[in-house]
Amino acid sequence: MQLWNTLSKEDLEERLRLNAHTYVTISFYKYAKIQNPQLFRDHLFQMFVNLDVVGRIYIAFEGINAQISVPHKNLDKFIHKLYEIEFLNGIRLNYSVDDSEAEFPFLKLKIKVRQKIVADGLCDETFDVTDIGRHLNAQEFNDLIAKPDTILIDFRNHYESEVGHFKGAILPDVDTFRESLPHIEETYLKGQENKNVVMYCTGGIRCEKASAWFKHRGFKNVHQLEGGIIKYANDCKNNGIENKFIGKNFVFDERRGERITEDIIAVCHQCGNPADVHTNCANEACHLLFIQCEACKIKFQNCCSVECQSITHLPIDEQKALRKGVDNGNKIFKKGRSTKLKFKLNQEKPISLVK
C-alpha cells in the first residue's frame, strides 16, 4: 500500500470536493516512549487514510503531535481506532472552535517522523519532563490570573498572539518556541520564583514541556491552561464561563485562525487598517505569511508588495527560473518580519491586567 501522497494541490482539492465530506478539525498530543516511530507512522497512515482523514502529524521517540480533520461520518470510527492504541486510549481530543474559515483545513494526510514533536531546543535527559505544572480548567484559570501575584505568559510566537490573546498576558516578541524559553526566563521571570506563573498556548503541548522546564529551573508555582486556548474557548462557551480571550486563535492549517470573539485587535500590515486575516504571499518565491485586509488583498492581488505582485504576472517558467536556487526559508519562518510591511508591530507588548 502507498504510504504517502503523490497528487498535486489541484488534484487534492478536486478529490476532496468529489468526496463531499464535512469535516471536524481535531488536535491532540501525547508525550510517550515510541520504540519505532517509523513503523508507528506507517501504521497510522494506513489506518487514517482509510477513513479519509487529512492533516498533519508529527511522530518522534518522545510521542505524537497531531492536527487533523476527520469526516463527520467517520468520527466515531476514527475515535474507536485511535483508542485501540494503548497509549492513546482515552486521550483528550481538542475540537476546533470554528471550522468556517476555510473550505478544506487540510488538503492531504501528512505524517512525518521527527527528532521531537515540538522543537524546544532542550536536552530532555537533563531534567524530569514528567514533572509538569498544575493543569487549570477554564474557571481555575480565570480565578488565578485575576490575582495580583500571578504572571500570565503567552507561550506562542509573535504572529500568533498578534491576532488574539488573553487579557493581561505578556506577549513575548519571539519567532519560535525554542527562542521563547530562555527569553521569557531572563526578561520576565528572573527573580519571580515565588510568584504564580501561568502559561498558555494553542492546544497545550508547548506548555507541557515548558512547565516541566521552569519547575526544573526553580519556579515553584507553575501552572498551565489545560488543553490550551482551544479547550478553554469551548469550555467557556459550553459552561457559561466568562471568556478572557480576545480576538482570533491562530491555527496551523488552511484556516490560519478561528474566531473566538468579534474583537479585531491587529492591523493590516500594508495599510494599517483593522484586520486579522493571515495570508501567504502569492509569489511562490516569497510566500511570506502576513496580515492583509480585503482592500489590500484586491489591490496587491494576495501579494505582500508591488515587487511580488509584478512577479506573479510573469509566465510560470520565468517565475520558476527566478526562484531556482533561492533559499527564502528564513524569511517565511520569520512570519511577517519584512521591511516591505510598514504596519507590522515587532515590539513586545506586555499588557496591564484587565479585570
The mean pLDDT of the chain is: 89
Whole-structure pTM value: 0.85
Q: Return d(Cα 60, Cα 33) in angstroms, integer.
A: 8
DSSP code for 189: I
Specify the range with the lowest mean pLDDT, choosing from 110-114, 170-174, 253-257: 253-257
**212 contact partners, CB below 8 Å, separation of at least 6:** 127, 128, 129, 130, 131, 132, 133
Query: Quick one: what percent of the chain has pLDDT higher than 90?
Result: 70
Q: What residues act catalytically? A: 201
In tens, the pLDDT along 49-66 reads: 999 999 999 999 999 999
Strand partners, 200: 154
214 — phi, psi (to 5°)?
Answer: -75, -30
pLDDT of residue 16: 65
Secondary structure (3-state) at 83 = helix
Burial class (CB in 10 A: 0-12, 13-18, 19+), 315: exposed
Burial class (CB in 10 A: 0-12, 13-18, 19+), 65: buried
What's the half-sphere exposure (Cβ side, CA atoms, 13 Å) at 45?
Answer: 19
Pair type for strands 150-154 and 245-249:
unpaired
**Whether the predicted pLDDT of 348 surpasses 80:** no
- The CA–CA distances, whole Å, from 159 to 110, 192, 216 equal 24, 27, 28
pLDDT band, residue 350 (cuts 50/70/90): very low
Pick the CATH number of 9-113 from 3.40.50.300, 3.30.70.100, 3.90.280.10, 3.10.105.10: 3.30.70.100
Strand partners, 289: 280
Domain borders along the chain are 9-113, 124-239
C-alpha cell at position 33: 516512549
Pick the CATH number of 124-239 from 3.40.50.300, 3.30.1960.10, 3.90.1150.110, 3.40.250.10: 3.40.250.10
Q: Return d(Cα 293, Cα 275) in angstroms, integer.
A: 5
**Whether the predicted pLDDT of 9 surpasses 50:** yes
**Whether the predicted pLDDT of 352 surpasses 50:** no
Q: Are 181 and 123 in contact (CB under 8 A)?
A: no
pLDDT of residue 74: 94
pLDDT of residue 200: 98
